Structure 1
């Protein structure tokens, strides 16, 4: 009989290798896309090609941008095999991965692109406007709920599910609170490991694809803008006694202990569940009596259009009543908050969400002995 744990570990290794392979394939995949455009360009009438001289130069610039991005990806993947205890580092080395077993698919390449764009949202100056709208209200509310003149901030425990690349977790911890981020996506975990634990000692440039009309625009930006070029450790910026951590895994499986957290902060997260009620129920369970849940985001419902996934998609009006039924008490609420997610501010196409912001409290139950 084959041990189920061995099978599970082997599947995890293959999944990990697949994602590392997707990162490694970024350069080839991107060059293939540009090559198709260049091939088509060379078939156009000569007078058209002459008129497209600057466009041809633009494609050369894109080549350079892809190279720069790939240099950053190589930094991200350096020593990534040490992330998990059941992964042999050599099994994630691009020279030792058995390519025949791992064929990068288009959806994985899209996730690599999405991860690079997340760097812009979380760790660049260009992402500051989005962070101000989406992260700052949450940070401000935590400070308001747990003022430092009344609370020992380092003893206030805050959980951020769906933490992505960890910027919101970092901002909360920087205020002196003990904050833990939770993330399920291996794409995000690999990238956040780089930005949070393997800090670069000099500022890196990363370039990512933006679209304006029919052109591909690449924007150079500096990420990790919060760090001084001589600083390579987060401890310098976070109060010594506060705790800052990231935990990998499924939110519903990792967090099952009752009455553990003072605050749960969700940002663009609760609609990532097949059954959003399971998230609400879990949040209520893990909060301490009197604890608060702060939420900001839309209801995009990630699984609603996936043919191989089941999903329910209640409206916010329905969800509000459901949240109350679980026992939460609404203290603050604001709808129609215009918010964006990893958008290029210079693009002619802008996606904007009508997000909802609310603060709910888990009541303190008082038992009366009769």
Structure 2
């Protein structure tokens, strides 16, 4: 899929080989979404088989276990229908790109295969992302990381001292789009950028196809068999979205652009603010991210960052990954690239798609920082 800039123009055309790879990847993602039911039922069947292997006296002690697994099996259908709807609605993403089509598995011509464990983790994570970004239950988690960014934008660009719609804010790694949507809700002109096709399928659905609040129920923790405090917590459903995604103050303030951040955003001095949340550690080379953020910011513009450094490619075979400590990231951003840091707070505690009722909780000690590109910056070359 070609990436687009804020004006809606294509930034570049892909080669035939790249288009073929993209089509194959789209089908792989579709296959993963459509494999959810089989994967989930397989997991439930394994749990049930283990139950039946117990001595009969132990089975009698587990008075509610078999019934619980039967309920989990039945509830799988709700999540399956949800992810299938995401796929069904994804065709609208490719209206301007006839080289990519969404096959209908019911019509043949699409060979369904059980997706890999890696791909299924992506699907399960996507379901949990909806909990984080678009449920009222996810509000507390959003507040730990989105609220500092939003408050900082309001402080740097006060609505009573500027025209918010003339302030261009970029949110790379936008995921399901909630942070970018919240910024646009305040009247700023905000664009989210996302590379993951799982996120792009899902954000397209929630942002363009869902017209009512709380119209969908999902079960984000359904396949969490470990560290469950009660069967009820594993089964609990949440309603999404907690707001109406199409309810924005003005048309044109919010958009999403697909593609690699380093490829899509190549124009200097274009953005008033770049807001990164749990994004910087998605880089193969974090220095390239720092350089590009600096390059595309207007002189005097702001980079607002929140997150840890859980480098996504650190343990993946055959993937480039440069893992720097935060002190080194800060030094390079300041001394080598030219950012001037205005604020920096360490130890900002935040969780990420965490089940609040789980017996295991993971908390990140994040950094929240605000840096500016000096007003006198002049680019000669990137």
Fold in common (TM above 0.5): yes
1:122 has 2:133 as partner:
yes
**Could you tell me whether the CA contact under 8 Å between 2:35 and 2:114 is conserved in 1?**
no
Q: How does 1:285-296 map to 2 (within 5 A)?
A: 285-296=295-306
Of 81, 84, 91, 2:103 maps to: 91
Q: Summarize the Cα distance change of 1:206–1:256 in structure 2 as closer, same or farther, 3 Å threshold.
A: same
1:350: which partner in 2? 361
Distance in 1 (CA, whole Å) between partners of 2:318 and 2:354 is 28
Q: In the aligned structure 2, how far is the partner of 1:313 from the partner of 1:19?
A: 28
Cα distance in 2 for residues equivalent to 1:342 and 1:178: 27
Q: How does 1:1-370 map to 2 (within 5 A)?
A: 5-84=15-94, 85-89=97-101, 91=103, 93=105, 95-99=107-111, 104-201=115-212, 203-209=215-221, 210-211=224-225, 213=227, 217-227=234-244, 234=246, 237-240=247-250, 243-325=253-335, 326-365=337-376
Cα contact 2:272–2:298 (8 A) shared by 1: yes
What is the CA–CA distance in structure 1 between the aligned matches of 2:104 and 2:299, rounded to whole Å? 44
Q: Point out where structure 2 has 5 or more consecutive residues left out of the alignment.
A: 1-13
Partner-residue secondary structure (3-state), 1:299: coil
DSSP-derived class of the 1:79 partner: helix
Q: Determine the C-alpha separation between the residues in 1 that align with 2:103 and 2:78.
A: 25
Deviation at 1:42, TM superposition (A): 1.4
Please report how far the alpha carbon of residue 211 of structure 1 lies from its aligned counterpart in structure 2 after TM superposition: 4.8
Q: Cα deviation per residue 1:314-342 (whole Å; 9 max; x = unaligned)?
A: 11111111110211000011001110000
Give the Cα separation in 1 of the matches to 2:342 and 2:119: 40
- Separation in 1 of the partners of 2:151 and 2:377? 29
Distance 1:88 1:366 in 2: 41
Q: Secondary structure at the match of 2:81?
A: helix
Secondary structure (helix, strand or coil) at the match of 1:258 reads coil
User: How many Å separate the matches in 1 of 2:344 and 2:287?
Assistant: 19
TM-score, normalised to structure 2's length?
Answer: 0.89
User: Quick check: 351-360 or 301-310, which moved more?
Assistant: 301-310
* Secondary structure of residue in 2 paired with 1:135: helix
Question: 1:122-174 deviations in whole A, cap 9, x for unaligned?
Answer: 01111111111010110110000000111110000000000000000000000
Q: Work out the CA distance in 1 between the residues paired with 2:85 and 2:23.
A: 21
The 1:169–1:244 alpha-carbon spacing in structure 2 relative to 1, beyond 3 Å, is same
CA distance in 2, matches of 1:125, 1:290: 36
Q: CA RMSD in A?
A: 1.8
Are the counterparts in 2 of residues 154 and 242 from structure 1 also a CA contact under 8 Å? Answer: no
Question: Alpha-carbon deviation of 1:223?
Answer: 1.2
List per-residue Cα deviations over 1:28-73 (Å, max 9, x = no partner). Answer: 1100111111122112111111111201111112112211111111
Residues 300 and 375, structure 2, Cα contact 8 Å, conserved in 1: yes
Alignment CA distance shift 1:366-1:355 (3 Å): closer
| C-alpha displacement of 1:86 | 3.6
Deviation by residue 1:238-283 (Cα, 9 ceiling, x = unmatched): 2126510000000000000000000000000001111100000000
Alpha-carbon separation, structure 1, partners of 2:140 and 2:102: 40
Shifted more, 41-50 versus 330-339: the winner is 41-50
Counterpart CA distance in 1 for 2:292 and 2:377 is 22
Aligned residues: 356
